[in-house]
A and B are shown apart, each in its own frame.
Chain A
């Protein structure tokens, strides 16, 4: 892994946004030197962090996901695959910073206290169960399109009965959970699962795991919204 290359690539992807934000700062806001200085330092810190993340993800999450996927599918029994599907989905979602941020925001609005962890656990369980479902789907060769259609229809039906605030939070949760920690891990898990197999599996079977993992939290939060009104 070339460190210099990564840093250049990352800088190039952050550059356009930096330029536009600087232009907006210059024309729309009272431009102060202090503000500018902190902004530039912040951008530099994000570039370092982003590069470190890409390097680390290649060393670890992309590797371990594939190894786990391969071994799970060849060596383990069905109940074990399902069980660890849930556990892995749960754990990797807890480690996703976006989930914490979202739950903090909801907690602040709700200000009854304690709702943060209920939400975090609901979201993580949603990811875990749907990751297990994705593995199940793969093993039994069920079409992804059918599961997607069925899931999104259920989302809108449950959505009618859920409270409106939960409806927006649910979709937010679905988008935020599959962030930078979960994405490489779940992608690699999918590749590992489908990499060697008794039956020849097609390339498209290697994708679709994240699709299901991001439906899980939407449904989980909506169901939570049916009960907490």
Chain B
């Protein structure tokens, strides 16, 4: 049982440390070149980076031994069910709640609320992001069942997103496309991927590789659309594009 808890932790640590070194080198370089931070600030930043980084490694390890195993196994069970259309609503629910547990989403939402000085409420942004992810996971399940090619989702999807940018102000456009990149963090790329791979293994005619990768592409598309829609609603309900840029 103890083995199960510590399995693979040291390797993760070692790989991660290697990946962190270039960032630290560039920071030192910039520091001596022209940042010239105070010693206190420098110590705070190095301490913070180590906290953030090892926090992330711990988080990933925790997710690894808890959610991923279960995700894969439940996926397999769901894939073998007779009425397998049920995976569509289950995908919707999972997509919705997994977004809350995504670290980078939390950071983005806090910053959005801070920068717009409360004009955009972080709970509403989270709601719409979660809805976006929920729809993309549900649609990915539909893809697994029907085998429709990813192109038929991505091309119209991005077209809709690009057309919507015509009707939404620049603030929401910038936030929407930022959000598309942020949402697919470690939780979705590991836990949801495990569920999808599990399901797709047992549904006839579904290729785990193609369907698994496609899910992440969908998850980075739908939140763009959902935040643009939120922008439409926000700007319309405030009559016009009220958001006066700070002067």
A-side residues, CB < 8 A to B, are 9-10, 13-14, 16-17, 20-21, 24-25, 28-29, 34-35, 37-64, 67-68, 71, 75-76, 84, 87-88, 90-92, 94-98, 100-102, 109, 143-145, 148-149, 152, 156, 165, 167-169, 171-172, 174-181, 183-184, 187, 191, 200, 202-211, 213-214
Given B69, B71, B216, which contacts A172 in the complex, CB threshold below 8 Å? Answer: B216
Is the CB–CB distance between B174 and A208 below 8 Å?
Answer: yes
Is the CB–CB distance between B65 and A38 below 8 Å?
Answer: yes
When distances are taken between beta carbons in the complex, the residues of chain A under 8 Å from B70 are: 21, 24-25, 29, 39
Is the CB–CB distance between B155 and A156 below 8 Å?
Answer: yes
Is the CB–CB distance between A91 and B213 below 8 Å?
Answer: no
When distances are taken between beta carbons in the complex, the residues of chain B under 8 Å from A43 are: 62, 66-67
B43 CB, nearest partner CB in chain A, Å: 10
Is the CB–CB distance between A20 and B93 below 8 Å?
Answer: yes
Chain B residue with Cβ nearest A6: B106
B141 CB, nearest partner CB in chain A, Å: 15
When distances are taken between beta carbons in the complex, the residues of chain A under 8 Å from B190 are: 101
Is the CB–CB distance between A53 and B59 below 8 Å?
Answer: yes
Given A97, A102, A152, A177, which contacts B56 in the complex, CB threshold below 8 Å? Answer: A97
Q: How far is the CA of A25 from the CA of B73 in the complex (A)?
A: 9
Q: How far is the CA of A94 from the CA of B16 in the complex (A)?
A: 9
When distances are taken between beta carbons in the complex, the residues of chain B under 8 Å from A171 are: 154, 213-214, 216-217, 220
Is the CB–CB distance between A210 and B60 below 8 Å?
Answer: no
30 contacts between A and B (CB under 8 A): A10-B106, A17-B101, A20-B97, A21-B74, A28-B74, A28-B77, A29-B77, A42-B67, A43-B66, A52-B51, A52-B55, A53-B56, A54-B103, A56-B48, A56-B52, A59-B52, A60-B45, A64-B45, A91-B23, A94-B19, A98-B189, A143-B170, A145-B165, A152-B158, A181-B52, A184-B52, A184-B107, A187-B107, A187-B108, A191-B111
**B interface, by DSSP: helix, strand, loop or mixed?**
helix
Q: How far is the CA of A167 from the CA of B24 in the complex (A)?
A: 33
Is the CB–CB distance between A97 and B173 below 8 Å?
Answer: no
Is the CB–CB distance between B51 and A45 below 8 Å?
Answer: no
Is the CB–CB distance between A191 and B115 below 8 Å?
Answer: yes
A60 in contact with B49 given A39-B66, A178-B104, A179-B185 (CB within 8 Å): yes
Is the CB–CB distance between A101 and B189 below 8 Å?
Answer: yes
Given B34, B62, B97, B170, which contacts A46 in the complex, CB threshold below 8 Å? Answer: B62
Is the CB–CB distance between B78 and A38 below 8 Å?
Answer: no
Question: Which of B23, B73, B158, B210 gathers the greatest number of chain A CB atoms within 10 Å?
Answer: B23
Q: How far is the CA of A28 from the CA of B25 in the complex (A)?
A: 49
Is the CB–CB distance between B23 and A92 below 8 Å?
Answer: yes
When distances are taken between beta carbons in the complex, the residues of chain B under 8 Å from A148 are: 162, 165, 173, 177
Q: Does B204 reach chain A (CB closer than 8 Å)?
A: no
B-side residues, CB < 8 A to A, are 1, 4-5, 15-16, 19-20, 22-23, 25-27, 30, 34-35, 37, 41, 44-67, 69-71, 73-74, 77-78, 93-94, 97-98, 100-101, 103-104, 106-108, 111-112, 115-116, 150, 154-155, 158, 162, 165, 169-171, 173-175, 177-178, 180-186, 189-191, 209-210, 213-214, 216-217, 219-220, 243, 245-247
Is the CB–CB distance between A180 and B56 below 8 Å?
Answer: yes
When distances are taken between beta carbons in the complex, the residues of chain B under 8 Å from A92 are: 23
Is the CB–CB distance between A168 and B104 below 8 Å?
Answer: no
Is the CB–CB distance between B103 and A16 below 8 Å?
Answer: no
Given contacts A168-B213, A202-B170, 5 further A-B contacts (CB under 8 A): A16-B101, A38-B66, A53-B56, A60-B45, A100-B15
A67 CB, nearest partner CB in chain B, Å: 6
Chain B residue with Cβ nearest A47: B62
Given A9, A28, A210, A213, which contacts B78 in the complex, CB threshold below 8 Å? Answer: A28
When distances are taken between beta carbons in the complex, the residues of chain A under 8 Å from B97 are: 16-17, 20
A67 in contact with B37 given A46-B62, A95-B23 (CB within 8 Å): yes
Is the CB–CB distance between A59 and B47 below 8 Å?
Answer: yes
Is the CB–CB distance between B48 and A172 below 8 Å?
Answer: no
When distances are taken between beta carbons in the complex, the residues of chain B under 8 Å from A175 are: 180-181, 183-184, 189, 216-217, 219-220
Is the CB–CB distance between A60 and B52 below 8 Å?
Answer: yes
When distances are taken between beta carbons in the complex, the residues of chain A under 8 Å from B103 are: 50, 53-54, 180
Q: How far is the CA of A180 from the CA of B49 in the complex (A)?
A: 12
